[in-house]
Structure 1
Amino acid sequence: MTAAISLAVIDDHPLFREGVIRSLTEMDGFSVVGEGSSKEDALRIAAECHPDILLLDISMPGGGLEAIPLILEQIPDQKIVMLTVSEASDDVMAALKSGAKGYVLKGVGSQTLADIIRGIAAGDSYVAPTLSARLISETGSRTRVNPFNALTGREREVLELASAGLSNKHIGLKLDLHEKTVKHHMTQIFTKLEVSNRTEAAMAFRDELEKRRQ
């Protein structure tokens, strides 16, 4: 049996925090080992409880963004996921540059959040699709970033298998992922590559491989 993913939830809105904790602990595979409401709580809980995933709000006493580098300085392998209402590109970039593995908007459903957490616990990263598209647009206009460079390692694996004709179900079986997690990866891929379906993504992937061979 797979060990439960341990979580800590740091948010200064008790009702929201309790809702997240209740939603996740009602599902199989999650255990909450700590909760708090400030940067100081985040630092203490990370050090004392060593959760697999630390969920942090941005707008809390001391600041969630300010907590990230302090936590990672002490615990370099701590996986931090921002769970916030902020859609500001500067906040997203600051979180990712500081070392956060995920940036999730609070409007997300509990099942989707669970799938995102499972993916990050397995080594993936995640940015809400609407935000990643905006980031690529903004950074691309300044630096002409190759969109394939924005794909995570897991997204590249999913894209390679999708391009080979595998369904989401079979990709999930091959990579030991939930089918819904694969769907999230495909959504991320479509957004980052600015395509609308699997065929266009596969064609873009083959074109990119051809360019790299030249």
Structure 2
Amino acid sequence: MTTAISLAVVDDHPLFREGVIRSLAEIEGFTIVGEGSTREDAVRIAEDKHPDVLLLDISMPGGGLEALSLIVERVPDQKIVMLTVSEASDDVTAALKNGAKGYVLKGVGSRALADILRTVASGESYVAPTLSARLISGDGSASLRKADLLRDLTGRESEVLQLVAAGLSNKHIGLKLDLHEKTVKHHMTQIFTKLGVANRTEAAMAFRDALEKRV
């Protein structure tokens, strides 16, 4: 039997927080171990409960990004997903730079959110596709270099990267391409190495940059 993924939700809007908790609690494979509404609550929950994934809003008393930094400093292996209405590139960049493993907009459905949380709990990262497209590197030469390196990818690696850019997890890429998840992970490793990137978001950015340059 698979162990349930433990979750905590910190958001200063009670109705939204309770709705997220209720929705996820009804989905098999998740258990809620904590909830709160402030930066102090977030830090306390991370230290005391250490859930598999902590869902954290940006706009809350004390600041969600500030809470993120404190938690990563005190509980380095805590996986954090920002669940917010903020689409500001600065917020997305700051969250990822400070250690968030995911960045999700509040309009997401409960089933999609559950898939994202499983992805993050498994060790992968996730950024809403509409946001990752905006995270264009300010270094034009680096952007061009990554676009050129896309030509070094095999056909299968290109297919995998295209689905990554569309926001699919390794599991769903495997289902789409009829591949084992382990095989998808191998392709991802090769893609990261060839593009000189560190994560899925950077790989997706390189892919989108290349598409823009072909137009």
Q: Compared with structure 1, are the counterparts of its residues 22 and 95 closer, same or farther at alpha carbon in structure 2 (3 Å cutoff)?
A: same
- The residue identity in structure 1 corresponding to 2:117 is I
Q: Structure 1 residue 60 and structure 2 residue 67: aligned?
A: no
Aligned to 1:144: 143
Runs of 4 or more consecutive aligned structure 1 residues displaced over 3 Å after TM superposition? 138-143, 173-177, 188-192
Cα-to-partner distance string for 1:83-107 (whole Å, 9 max, x where unaligned) = 0000000000000000000000000
Aligned to 2:196: none
Contact 1:21 1:32 in 2 (8 A): yes
How far did 1:167 drift?
Answer: 5.3
Q: Aligned partners of 2:31 and 2:95: how far apart in 1?
A: 25
Q: Give the number of aligned pairs.
A: 179
Aligned to 2:160: 159
Q: Aligned partners of 1:87 and 1:122: how far apart in 2?
A: 25
Aligned to 2:207: 193
Gaps (5+ residues) in structure 2?
151-156, 164-172, 185-199
Aligned to 2:176: 168
Q: Give aligned-pair identity as a percent.
A: 61
- The residue identity in structure 1 corresponding to 2:43 is L
Aligned to 2:92: 92
Gaps (5+ residues) in structure 1?
150-155, 178-185, 201-214
- Aligned pairs for 1:1-214 (under 5 A) are 1-136=1-136, 138-139=137-138, 141=140, 143-144=142-143, 146=146, 159=160, 168=176, 170-171=178-179, 173-175=180-182, 193-194=207-208
Q: Aligned partners of 1:37 and 1:120: how far apart in 2?
A: 22
How far did 1:110 drift?
Answer: 0.6
**Aligned to 1:135, what secondary structure does the other structure show?**
coil
How far did 1:170 drift?
Answer: 2.5
The alignment's TM-score, normalised by the length of structure 2, stands at 0.72
Q: Compared with structure 1, are the counterparts of its residues 37 and 158 closer, same or farther at alpha carbon in structure 2 (3 Å cutoff)?
A: farther
